[in-house]
Chains A and B, each alone.
Chain A
Amino acid sequence: MAKERGTSNIPMIMGIIGGVLGLPAAVCSAWCGEAIVAVDNIDSGAVSDGSTGGTILLLGILGAILGIVGGALGKKIPTPAGSMMIAAAILTGWNLASALAYIPLNLFLLGGVFCFVQKKESIEI
Chain B
Amino acid sequence: MYPYLDLGHNILFPLYNLFIGIGIIFGLIYLDRQCNSLKIKFLTDRNLHVSLIISVILSFLGAKIFELIYQGNTITLIDLYSGGTTFMGGVITAGIVFFLINSLLKTNNLFAFNLVVPSLMIAHIFGRIGCFLGGCCYGNPTNIFCGVKYPETAPASVHLGSSIYSHPTQLYESFFLIVCFIVIEKYSLFENKIFIYLIGYGTFRFFIEFIRADERGQILTDLISPSQITSILFVLFGIFSILIRFYFSKKSAATNNF
**A residues touching B (Cβ–Cβ < 8 Å)?**
3, 5, 9, 12-13, 16-17, 19-21, 23-24, 27, 65, 68-69, 72-73, 75-77, 99-100, 102-103, 123, 125
Q: DSSP majority for the B interface?
A: helix
- B53 with A69: CB separation less than 8 A: yes
Hey, which chain B residues are within 8 Å of A102, CB to CB? 11
- A23 with B17: CB separation less than 8 A: yes
| A19-B21 contact given A24-B14, A100-B11, CB 8 Å threshold | yes
A37 to B77: give the CA distance in the assembly, Å: 22
Hey, which chain A residues are within 8 Å of B21, CB to CB? 16-17, 19-21
A69 to B81: give the CA distance in the assembly, Å: 21
Give the residue of A13, A65, A69, A76 whose beta carbon is less than 8 angstroms from that of B46: A76
Number of residues on chain B facing chain A (CB within 8 A): 29
| A99-B25 contact given A5-B42, A69-B53, A73-B53, CB 8 Å threshold | no
- B10 with A99: CB separation less than 8 A: yes
| A24-B11 contact given A68-B53, A75-B32, A125-B41, CB 8 Å threshold | no
Residue of B nearest to A123 (CB): B42
- A65 with B17: CB separation less than 8 A: no
- A99 with B11: CB separation less than 8 A: yes
Hey, which chain B residues are within 8 Å of A73, CB to CB? 46, 49-50, 53
- B57 with A76: CB separation less than 8 A: no
**B residues touching A (Cβ–Cβ < 8 Å)?**
9-14, 17-18, 20-22, 24-25, 28-29, 32, 41-43, 45-46, 49-50, 52-54, 56-57, 81
A20 to B32: give the CA distance in the assembly, Å: 21
A72 to B26: give the CA distance in the assembly, Å: 11
Hey, which chain A residues are within 8 Å of B43, CB to CB? 125
Hey, which chain B residues are within 8 Å of A3, CB to CB? 42
Hey, which chain A residues are within 8 Å of B20, CB to CB? 20
Max chain B Cβ within 10 angstroms of own Cβ: one of A19, A23, A76: A76
A122 to B22: give the CA distance in the assembly, Å: 29
Hey, which chain B residues are within 8 Å of A123, CB to CB? 42
| A68-B57 contact given A13-B25, A16-B24, CB 8 Å threshold | yes
A103 to B12: give the CA distance in the assembly, Å: 11
- B17 with A21: CB separation less than 8 A: yes
Give the residue of B9, B25, B52, B54 whose beta carbon is less than 8 angstroms from that of A12: B25
Given contacts A12-B29, A20-B21, A125-B43, 11 further A-B contacts (CB under 8 A): A12-B25, A13-B25, A20-B17, A20-B20, A21-B13, A24-B17, A72-B28, A73-B46, A99-B10, A100-B12, A103-B13
- A69 with B57: CB separation less than 8 A: yes
Residue of A nearest to B45 (CB): A76
Hey, which chain B residues are within 8 Å of A5, CB to CB? 42
Residue of B nearest to A100 (CB): B11
A99 to B9: give the CA distance in the assembly, Å: 8
A21 to B18: give the CA distance in the assembly, Å: 7
| A20-B46 contact given A69-B53, A125-B41, CB 8 Å threshold | no
- A125 with B24: CB separation less than 8 A: no
A38 to B43: give the CA distance in the assembly, Å: 51
- A125 with B53: CB separation less than 8 A: no
Hey, which chain A residues are within 8 Å of B22, CB to CB? 17
Hey, which chain A residues are within 8 Å of B29, CB to CB? 9, 12
- B28 with A12: CB separation less than 8 A: yes
A17 to B13: give the CA distance in the assembly, Å: 11
Residue of B nearest to A14 (CB): B25
Hey, which chain A residues are within 8 Å of B13, CB to CB? 21, 100, 103
A100 to B29: give the CA distance in the assembly, Å: 27
- B25 with A76: CB separation less than 8 A: no
